[in-house]
Every structure is written in structure tokens, then in C-alpha cells.
Amino acid sequence: MTAADASVNPVSDGAPAPVLAFRDDALGTDDAVGLLARLKAGEVSAAEVARAAAERIRAVDGRLHAMRVEAFEAGIASAPGDGPLAGIPTLVKDNTTYAGLPTGHGTAAFTPRPAPRHAPFTRQFTSTGMTVLGKTRLPEFGFNASTEFEDAEPVRNPWNTEFSAGGSSGGSAALVAAGAVPIAHANDGGGSIRIPAAACGLVGLKPTRGRMAANETGRSLPIDIIVDGAVTRTVRDTAAFLAAAELARPAASLPPIGRVEGPGGRRLRVGLLLDSPTGTVTDDATRAAVTATATTLEGLGHQVEPYRMPLDARFEEDFVTYWGMLAFLAGATGRLLMDRRFDRRRMDGLSQGLRGQYLRRWHSTPAVLRRLRRAAREAYEDSAARYDVVLSPVLAHTTPRLGHLSPAVPFPELITRLKSYVAFTPVNNVCGSPAISLPGPGRTPEGLPVGVMLSGRIGEERTLLEAAYELEAAG
């Protein structure tokens, strides 16, 4: 069954069929690059495409619960924009300020009001010319690796709605995977682009720190772990987005990426990291997908060898402490940064647990920051000296069922589950290096994708994209 042919209705044996929006309309089955070619040829108009995307979102969101704010009519009226991706319909994650729309950050602790202006990254994102049709849901403050809530419907995975769509960019990933839009905004402070990309079978590239305009939250942190980007269904769409964003705001301190349109000719040295440097053992299905990808890379002429990343044993707990500091800051500054009516007592169980844990450890903050910086630098320098890229899982186990990572789970159990799931991605956030999640070979018995990750040297997104093109073509 192809994505375009799949029904949104349950199959006869009781297992849910994929919730997919592909149909015979102005969007068709094109990715963003294919759609852009038809827009430029005059085969469809930007307004027709935006209207089709709005109809697709309406058709599937009753099952997926991925939208936070709709702006369909305003988006249709504004199309086409002016930029290299003019007319491509898209969505913005609801932790990023977009003028005229509220920014809720996934929390029930306040009622958001329309923002007076765009965030710096929003200006960069919209300068590409894409048509913004609304905002997508995320877990509270983006802390969770699953887009779930205590008192609201979770965002559901379009491939099997009993399972998580990942987090924190789960709303964006669900709607791109379902075919409602070809590309959507995402951001990543510990894996939040790559995790939902892996869960939903998408391409999700976390850029090098500094590649994109500074995130509103990240630029105020002692270690800026947050970077913005997008999730897409194809490597060429991710490459096109990065090129368009770079035209709007070149990163002066980094080598330019340019437009990457296919594989590179250089054969790479690839480090194969199967088990997490934090000590978590990868499950069988994920290990099989990564091992098969390594075999593919070898068949393509790349040199692959096993690798063990040296990482301070305290890195995992230190990152959780830093995570807790973010929860503390969200509660302490909510009245200043979000709304004077912010009520931290309404923060969810994960946020409250992280905040409480940090308050018991706050005195260790200077040492935690020193260790995080040193551990990530040493791990990065070791891998960069040995390899052009490192191949690893995105996550230590396959996508969990909804409820496994719910913020209603008692905090001690929930944080244990999160540490055993999000075991590979945070190192890139602390050291600032780029990494890309790609759909691995095969599916789980429940029909879910399994993601694999390539991590690269700082500033070398081009290398990751070239390798990703090769893997996509070989798959």
C-alpha cells in the first residue's frame, strides 16, 4: 500500500491503518521541490496549493490532534510569498513567536495572546516565501520526547495512532508524515527535530549551532542547546530549505552549505556507534536498522568501523540537571516572558518533577556546566578526529505506545524511561554539531519507522546531506 492510496479508516483486523492525507488535489504526492517546479510552471497556483493543504489538515487532524492554531484563511490570502520556496505550504511550531498568532509553548499554565511581532528565526523562516497555515502542538515547553499531555489528547503517529509521534516537534512531524504539508518548522534542544523525524519516518536535520537565527530561548542560556530547522519527507526538501534559509541569513562564522543536490564523490570514514555512550543498550529492531545502514554505506564504498564514544559517565545526569534548570526558569520567569497570569502550579508532572529535582541540585550548577562543556567537547573532538561522520541510532528503542512517556507517569519512572529512550541525541546539542535523522530500512511489526542518525563535524551539514542522498537512493 502506498502513502497516496492509504485510507484513514481502520483496517478489518482492528489495527489502525495509516492516517494519510494524500489525494488527487493541487498538492498531489509531490514533495516541496516537486511542488515548487509545478508552481513555477504555472500548473497550480500558490492559493490552490494552500487551500489543498488546509483541506488536508482538516481531514486528518481529528485523528492526529497535531494542530495548535489554524491560520488557513490568512495563509491562503497571503500566498504566494516572495522567496526561493514561494508558495510551499508549511506550519510553525507553537514555541516560536509568529506575529498575530498566540504562542502557547504547550502549557496550560497561561492563556497566550497574539504576538506583536515575529521572532528572529520566524523572519528567516518566512523569508523563504513559504505559506504559513498555522501552528503545531508540542509537549509542555518542549521538554518531553513524546507530544503528550495530562488533560488533552496526545499527538498521534500517522503510521499507527496508538503510538507516539515523538517530541517535541511532534505536531509538525505528524502532519508532514501524513502528507498534509511537505515541510514544517521544528526545533531541537535535545533531539526534538530528530526524535519525531525518527518516529514518523521523516528527514530531520539539526543544524550546527549558529547556522540559524538565534532561538528566543536558547540565546539566553549558559549553553545554547536549541537550534531551529524543519522536518521533511525527502532529503532534497531538507537541502532546499537549508539553502533558502542561508540566503536570508548567511552564518558568518560557519562555512556556507549552498544548494546540495545529490551525493558527493568523496568516500567517507564512518564510525559505527551501536550502543549509547551513556551506557544504554540499543534494542534489537533499532540495532538491526543501524547495522543494515552500515552495510549499505560499506557497499557504497565508504569505510565503516565500530566506534565507542568516550563520554564522562556523569553526562546523562548532568544533562537532566540542565534540563531541570530550564524547567525552573520556565516556572520562575513565566510571568515575565509569557503572561502575568502564568500559574506554575498548572505546569505538568514532567515540568514539576524536573523543576523540583533541580531545586535540590541547584548548588551544583557551575560544576554541571563545566562538565557538560568539557564532556561534549572531548567526545566531539575524538569523533571528529577519527571520522567524517558517525552513524548511530536516533533513539535507543523503537517508538513507544502512547502513555509510556505521558507526563502523568510518576516522575521517577518517567525520567528513567526518558533516559533509556533519548540516549544518543543530546551530545550534539551540547557541543553544537549537526546531525540528521533518516528513515532506516524496514518497519516494526506495528508498521512504524525506525530512524538512523548521521552526526557530522561542526559546520559540515553538506557532508551529512550528501551521505543522506546516497542512503535515500539506496533505500
127, 146, 164, 168: the active-site residue: 168
Interior angle at CA 235, CA 377 and CA 449, nearest 5: 85
pLDDT of residue 16: 75
Rounded distance between C-alpha atoms, residue 116 and residue 138, angstroms? 21
Q: In CATH, what number is assigned to the domain containing residue 39?
A: 3.90.1300.10
Asked if 235 contacts 468 with a C-beta cutoff of 8 angstroms, the reply is: yes
Could you tell me if residue 5 is inside a domain? no
**In this structure, are residues 217 and 121 in contact, taking their beta carbons and an 8 Å threshold?**
no
In a domain, 4, yes or no: no
Q: Is 93 a catalytic residue?
A: yes
Residue-by-residue DSSP string for 68-123: EEE-HHHHHHH-S-SSTTTT-EEEEETTS--BTSB--TT-SSS---BBSS--HHHH
- Bond into 168 cis (ω within 30): yes
Residue 323 lies in a domain: yes
Q: Is residue 387 part of a domain?
A: yes
Residue 1 placed within a domain: no
In a domain, 160, yes or no: yes
pLDDT score for 336: 52
- Domain coverage including residue 311: 32-474
Residue 314 in domain: yes
Separation between Cα atoms, residue 239 and residue 225, nearest integer Å: 22
Helices (H), 5-91: 32-40, 46-64, 72-78
The alpha carbon dihedral of 57, 63, 68, 70 has a sign of: positive
Tell me the angle at which helices 411-421 and 315-337 cross, rounded to the nearest 10 degrees.
120
Supply the Cα-derived Rg of the chain in whole angstroms: 21
Task: Give CA–CA dist 18/157, Å, rounded.
Answer: 8
* The pLDDT of residue 11: 36
What gap in Å lies between CA 162 and CA 468, rounded to an integer? 29
Evaluate whether 218 touches 444 at the Cβ level (below 8 Å): no
pTM for the model stands at: 0.96
Among candidate residues 173, 234, 285, 170, the one with its CA nearest the CA of residue 33: 234
pLDDT score at 219: 81
Task: Give the whole-angstrom CA distance, residue 475 versus residue 471.
Answer: 6
pLDDT of 334 reads 76
Query: Is 22 contained in some domain?
Result: no
* Per-residue pLDDT at 324: 96
Percent of residues in the chain assigned helix, strand, coil, to nearest 5: 40, 15, 45
> Domain tally for the chain?
1
SS3 411: helix
Q: Given this model, what pLDDT does residue 217 score?
A: 80
Does the annotation mark 78 as catalytic? no
Question: Among residues 192, 383, 392, 406, which one is catalytic?
Answer: 192
Active-site annotation holds for 276: no
Q: What is the pLDDT of residue 9?
A: 32
Euclidean distance between CA atoms 147 and 129, whole angstroms: 28
Question: What tens-digit pLDDT sequence spans the chain (475 residues)?
Answer: 333 333 333 333 545 799 999 999 999 999 999 999 999 999 999 999 999 999 999 999 999 999 999 999 999 999 888 999 999 999 999 999 999 999 999 999 999 999 999 999 999 999 999 999 999 999 999 999 999 999 999 999 999 999 999 999 999 999 999 999 999 999 999 999 999 999 999 999 999 999 999 987 888 899 999 999 999 999 999 999 999 999 999 999 999 999 999 999 999 999 999 999 988 999 999 999 999 999 999 999 999 999 999 999 999 999 999 999 999 999 887 755 666 788 999 999 999 999 999 999 999 999 999 999 999 999 999 999 999 999 999 999 999 999 999 999 999 999 999 999 999 999 999 999 999 999 999 999 999 999 999 999 999 999 999 999 999 999 8
